[in-house]
Amino acid sequence: KKFLVNDQFMDENEVKLSIYDRGYQFGDGVYEVIRFYNKKYFKLKEHLIRYIESARKIDIDSALDLEQLESMFEELLERNSIDNGYVYTQLTRGTAPRSHIYNKEELKPQLIAYVEEAKRPLELMEKGASAILHEDERWTKCDIKSLNLLGSVLAKTKANKDGAFEAILHRGDIVTEGSVSNVFVYKHNKLYTSPANNLILNGITRLTILEIAKELGIEVEETTISVDFLLSSDEVFTSATVSEITPIIEIKGKSPIGHGKPGEMTKLIQTKYEEKIKQL
């Protein structure tokens, strides 16, 4: 497997990372996950723009610009033999003796990227999954795709222990997003999702679904969703790059959502999403 480290391609055993990398010691960095299907990226530019924007929001100036990143990521795919999967990439602030205070003059941001094989989760998308409700205990800059993932790690692991696929997070009464996904609710012929503010990551899949809704003429409201509203909705689904669109058919310990099976609107949006993949 070939890795990208800054602007160099190398084998895994050639990759040398420091214990003093601020990503390792402070989670001081940002990341992205980008899917490719049949060796073609899905929404590469959108992901890279968000990556650069996340880095900028935490005051990391990468030497790399959008065009350079695009061409290096294309080359990464060419140098690896995987057809379907995703690229994981992270950019840390760099390496320096441990101190909370950073000094940009002394730091060189470190980028790594590698590919991982991943099939489309067809069975999950068809059958749907259950979720738990979990208090959103993360910080209030969730629009940044930060390496600090403790809130998500704890919530997703709790879901897994409870036999559920995802943890749907809420701040008090307000649903924000999933631990690793965005949340959509369909009720009375209208699609709802949380507004893209500081409390959620504006998912690229979320944006693609909004694009699909527009194309289909589905009425959408980007507005705050209460826990009760979600529980009494007709359909719920989550969206994320790797898992795509997952119907949520049950909230553990509560009643099923709608009829307890994937809803018609969810299925229609899944179909349109698949069409966009096939158009690549």
Chain centroid, CA 149 distance in Å: 12
| 170 binding ligand PMP? (CB under 6 A) | no
Q: Which of 62, 110, 181, 246 binds ligand PMP (CB under 6 A)?
A: 181
Cβ 206 vs Cβ 182: under 8 Å: yes
The question of whether 276 is a catalytic residue gets the answer no
- Which residues are registered as beta bridge partners of 184? 193, 237
Cα 249 to Cα 67, 164, 244, 253, 263, distances in angstroms: 41, 11, 16, 12, 9
CA separation (Å) from 276 to 116, 208, 270, 272? 22, 9, 10, 6
Q: Of 108, 145, 156, 261, which one is the catalytic site residue? A: 145
For residues 58 and 133, give the distance between their C-alpha atoms in angstroms, rounded to a whole number. Answer: 29
Q: Kindly identify the residues of this chain, within the stretch 95-154, that bind ligand PMP according to CB under 6 A.
A: 152
**Least CB distance from residue 237 to ligand PMP, whole Å?**
12
Nearest-approach distance from CB 4 to ligand PMP, in angstroms: 20
Q: Which is nearer to ligand PMP, 128 or 203 (CB)?
A: 203
- Among residues 233, 241, 246, 270, which is the contact residue for ligand PMP, using CB under 6 A? 241
Nearest residue to ligand PMP, using CB?
203
Q: Which of 137, 156, 47, 135 is nearest to 91 (CA)?
A: 47
110-117/129-135 β-pairing: unpaired
Among 23, 128, 203, 258, binds ligand PMP (CB under 6 A): 203
Instruction: Compare residues 205 and 233 and give the one whose CB is closer to ligand PMP.
Output: 205
Kindly list the residues in this chain that would bind ligand PMP in the complex (CB under 6 A): 33, 152, 177, 180-182, 201, 203-206, 239-241
Cite the active site residues.
145
